[in-house]
Amino acid sequence: MKKVLLLCTAAVMLLASCGTMQKAATTTSTTATSSSTDGQAAGRALKALYTQYKADGKFDATNLSNIANTMLLIQNCKGLKTSFKDSNYWKAFAQGLILGSDNLVTQQVSNTVTSQLSNMMQNIDTEKLESAGQNASQAASAAASAASSLKSIFNLFSK
């Protein structure tokens, strides 16, 4: 457990130092661009998580790469939590997922994946993850919470 907490602390500090914790959208155009950019980053993180999941045969919550990619996924899906009724946001985010995942997320499953990511985000308190000074166990808890949702999403991929 200590190892997981140390790894989570390192991942949270890494993400905070990279400046990935701060995003804002102020106009419709900016929101569409932001949602597409967030979708692409989420797609890259999702692909990395899926690749590791396939290699390990399980979601390893002690793997620093998995923790960091889960945190990136959560950060970039944060807009789904607040924009779940904005169809333009969802469309742009789903297209970003396809691009960012190098078509691991296909057009056929993009809406399902986006919906499942949105559902996953409803159970994650992103405010607690905003500060690198927060307890690392919260990051581990978020990663563990996301793991079951991720497994459902991974089952949608045919690769």
> What per-residue confidence (pLDDT) applies to 62?
83
> What per-residue confidence (pLDDT) applies to 126?
77
- Report whether 97 contacts 114 (CB < 8 A): yes
Averaged pLDDT in 10-residue chunks for the chain of 159 residues:
44 44 42 78 96 93 87 90 84 94 95 93 78 59 76 80
Please provide residue 77's backbone torsions phi and psi, each rounded to the nearest 5 degrees: -100, 0
- Report whether 80 contacts 117 (CB < 8 A): yes
- Report whether 98 contacts 105 (CB < 8 A): yes
Q: Which of 59, 50, 86, 67 lies closest to 11, judged by CA? A: 67
> What per-residue confidence (pLDDT) applies to 123?
85
Secondary structure of residue 6 in the 3-state scheme: helix
